[in-house]
Amino acid sequence: MQTDRNYLHRIQKFIVWVAVPVESVTSRNVKCYIDFLLEKSLSPQTINSHLVAIRKFYNYLKDEEGLQISNPVIKKLALRLPKPLPRHLRDSDVVIFLRSITKPRDMAMFMLMLRCGLRVEEVANLTLGAIDYRRSQIMVRSGKGAKDRVVYLSNDAAETLAAYLQIRPVTREQLVFLVEKGNYKGKPISVRGIQKRVEYYSKQSAVSVSCHQLRHTMATKLLNADADLVTIQDLLGHNRIKTTQRYCKLSNVKAQRDYYNAMDIVMEKTASIISQRRRH
């Protein structure tokens, strides 16, 4: 009943606002109504709920009442909803999480996400031939969007990977990470298998962690260390810089540092101008 009342209320508000017969309403009218709702500071989700109500109203008029009208609420009019990204891990949480890891294989998998920015699918599909220890880099083949890219091995990531490879069973399997027990022992570990290991250690350490969060933490740390946004885009394998800009939201650390660095320049210029005027 509450849902029905909400629908009726939204439809009534639109009909009163549009001030033309329902048969004459066009998508242009609906676009203007969206602007009106935006000016009232309604959220995209709330505005989309208004559009759903109006669309259903016109479907009812056409299908149930038999009116020969077109639905003015076309799909392209819906507002895109922001997709929240996971929060990056604090340094203290990273330490606690890593301390809970008991298996060399698991440590190596997680460090490739945390230090190299690999996606969980890229970790699962990593081959022995893609690792170049001499150059401290990994060739990620057919990443998202079928793109190849090079990522670099930090010292700690290289050490954990080497520690695992030393105990990895001798096998013809070229994928790096293997199942270690059960019916699938010796077979490549799946994406879901890696995710389950993260979930297990997240529970053990009482630190909320996901595979994507490890990659997001790597991007945030690079940004805070003043790495260029284009460099981060290349390392993460993003097609568009806008994706990286959204992915690497400024954290308080960098925002604070940028503010004080900029303010130092501003105050220095102001002091210079005041000094010049006094001399004159």
Q: Supply the residues annotated as catalytic.
A: 119, 144, 212, 215, 238, 247
Classified as helix, coil or strand, 30 is helix
| Structural tokens at position 146 | 């079928």
Q: Residue 235 belongs to what H/E stretch?
A: helix 229-236
Phi, psi at 132, each rounded to 5°: -120, 95
Residue type, 30: V
Structure tokens at 57: 């109203």
Please state the φ and ψ torsions of residue 80, each to the nearest 5 degrees: -75, 130
Q: How is residue 150 annotated by DSSP?
A: E
Q: Which residues pair with 149 in a beta bridge?
A: 140
What's the Rg (C-alpha) of the chain? 27
Q: 3-state DSSP call for residue 191? A: helix
